[in-house]
Amino acid sequence: MAKTSHIAIVSSPGFSHLVPIIEFTKRLIKLHPNFHVTCIIPSLGPPPESSKSYLKTLPSNIDSIFLPPINKEQLPQGADPGLLIQLTVTLSLPSIHKVLKSLSSKAPLTALVVDVFAYQTLEFAKEFNALSYFYCPGSAMTLSLILHLPKLDEEVSGEYKDLKEPIKLPGCVPLLGVDLPAPTQNRSSGTYKSFLKRAKAFAKPIVDGIIINTFLEMESGAIRALQELGNGKIRLYPVGPITQKGSSNEADESDKCLRWLDKQPPCSVLYVSFGSGGTLSQDQTNELALGLELSCQRFLWVLRAPSNSSSAAYLETANEDPLHFLPSGFLERTKDKGLVVPSWAPQVQVLSHNSVGGFLSHCGWNSTLESVQEGVPLITWPLFAEQKMNAVLLVDGLKVALRPKFNDDGIVEKEEIAKVIKCLMEEEEGKGMRERMSNLKDSAANALKDGYSTQTLFQLANQWENLTEI
């Protein structure tokens, strides 16, 4: 009988970070059922219900441990979500070490796989004789930026957003400085210093490999360039697209959305959602509502209460009914064309529905991969984190998306919104994007069936299994 390989995973706080790394472990144990995985989860405050209910669905050979929550008073007020996540993990290091010590006393640890924000925990791998890996939940393009950032930091004076020439990362579509991740937009900030420190940790040869949630056909140039970086010293494992296939327990809202979609013509509905953390201002909410109305297209809109912070939903839960913030008479005027649902919709089921023909998205990587897997072209509306980079990849690189223009006040006006929606849903340009996205959907399915991603995961799992047998 084969010995059990014990893998320890360190997530970072937040549902959108927990899901990608857990979904990776689910795929791993599907291929190798004799692996046992323990996921260690740092927390800021009590664990969210979404995380707890999600973890209850896991197979018996994946355990999860929520660490004692960090006292919010130890964290700076009003800090960027990325910095809060990083500080939460840093303050949890003693707890992480304690759990790893307890696990290794029961059975040897084969490998330690950590989320990008948990890079400091890799120093524990050597102590417990475990192989060490980063799990990068984003694109190869984002990983390329992280690995090149220390050099960029030395070479560029002033702010990246003021650069006249685009930044050319190996194998990637050129990027303007304003489209670099939000933490890089103010180089004197604590958020940037934290991001740079994390990038420098990535650039050091301290890991046995980097596991990344993308696939060869989607980012072949970036993946090949990364594999050649440092004369092949970086072991890169593209294993994507890995996304959450399960539903949620919010059945009433789910049924309502899907019943409404059942009544719409094929490819006629634009799905509008800004992910689990994205919010718009009141002014922008008004313009989006009026733009949807002006486009005369069918739409399903997941609406959140407005906020002046684009990532407010990560940090707080508004109790107000989002529908109260819509322009007067909007719901009545659009009742035959659209459905507005508060806060949540069953995204995977929505995107896979044959009446959905487009996705207006914040371009978080989870949503991007879900859209690719269902073959739905996009309108990109990046809000924070690395979402602008994802938008550039989709629009300029893969040509499966449109990007609306913002005015000088940072608002996308209703006329511009209506124009890009019509272009995607009705015009030849949109039709071409739909065809390209359909091809990408096939490539994604092949990557997971018996293609490069599955071969890569087998290769990694076999290494771990062989170590256990030695």
Residue 1's pLDDT is what? 43
pLDDT at 241 over 60: yes
First-to-last C-alpha distance (Å) of the chain: 14
Sheet with 209-212: strands ordered across = 62-66, 35-41, 5-10, 109-115, 131-136, 209-212, 236-238
Torsion region of 144: left, alpha or beta (phi above 0 gives left; psi -120 to 50 gives alpha): alpha
Confidence check: pLDDT of 442 > 80: yes
Per-residue pLDDT at 253 exceeds 90: no
Q: Above 90 in pLDDT, residue 318?
A: no
- Residue 303 pLDDT grade (very low, low, confident, very high; cuts 50, 70, 90): very high
Rg from Cα positions in the chain:
22
Average pLDDT over residues 352-364: 97
Residue 306 pLDDT: 94
Q: Residue 44's pLDDT band (boundaries 50, 70, 90)?
A: confident
Supply the mean pLDDT for the chain. 92
pLDDT in tens, 163-198: 999 999 999 999 999 999 999 999 999 899 999 999
Greater confidence, 338 or 51? Answer: 338
Residue 234: CB partners within 8 Å, gap ≥ 6? Answer: 147, 205, 209, 210, 226, 227
Q: Comparing C-alpha atoms, which of 331, 249, 243 is closest to residue 22?
A: 243
Catalytic residue among 6, 32, 36, 115: 115
d(CA 80, CA 83): 5
pLDDT at 130: 96
Is 308 a residue whose pLDDT tops 90?
no
Residue-level pLDDT at 381: 98
Work out the angle between the directed axes of helices 81-91 and 190-203 (0-180°, nearest 10).
Answer: 60
Q: What stretches of 66-139 show up as alpha helix (H) in DSSP?
A: 81-91, 93-106, 123-127
Q: Which amino acid type is present at position 172?
A: C
pLDDT at 16 over 70: yes
Distance (Å, whole) CA 179 – CA 81: 18
Quick one: pLDDT at residue 46? Answer: 86
Is pLDDT of 257 > 80? yes
User: How many angstroms separate the CA atoms of 385 and 188, rounded?
Assistant: 17
CA distance 81 to 163: 26
pLDDT higher than 90, residue 148: yes
For the question of residue 32 being annotated catalytic, the response is no
Residue 470, pLDDT > 90, answer no
Q: Which of 6, 17, 36, 353 is catalytic?
A: 17
The helix (run of H) or strand (run of E) holding residue 429 is helix 428-449
User: Which of 3, 15, 239, 242 minimizes the C-alpha distance to 133?
Assistant: 239
| Span 365-409, pLDDT tens digits | 999 999 999 999 999 999 999 999 999 999 999 999 999 999 999
Q: Are 69 and 44 within 8 A, CB to CB?
A: yes
**For 238-253, what is the mean pLDDT?**
75
Neighbouring residues of 253: CB distance < 8 A, sequence distance ≥ 6? 341, 344, 345, 346
Q: CB under 8 Å to 94, separation ≥6 — which residues?
A: none
pLDDT digits (tens, 9 = 90+) for 280-300: 999 999 999 999 999 999 999
**8 neighbors 38 (Cβ within 8 angstroms):** yes
Mean pLDDT value across residues 221-233? 85
Inter-CA distances, 458 with 29, 188, 443, 454, Å: 11, 43, 19, 6
Based on DSSP, count helices (H) and strands (E) in the chain, helices before strands.
18, 13
CA atoms within 13 A on the CB side of 413: 5
At 40 the three-state DSSP class reads: strand
Domains of the chain: 5-244+445-469 (3.40.50.2000), 251-443 (3.40.50.2000)
17 carries an active-site annotation = yes
* Whole-number Cα distances in Å, 47 to 16, 41, 312, 326, 442: 13, 9, 18, 31, 37
Q: How much of the chain exceeds pLDDT 90, in percent?
A: 78
How many Å apart are CA 62 and CA 22, to the nearest integer?
9
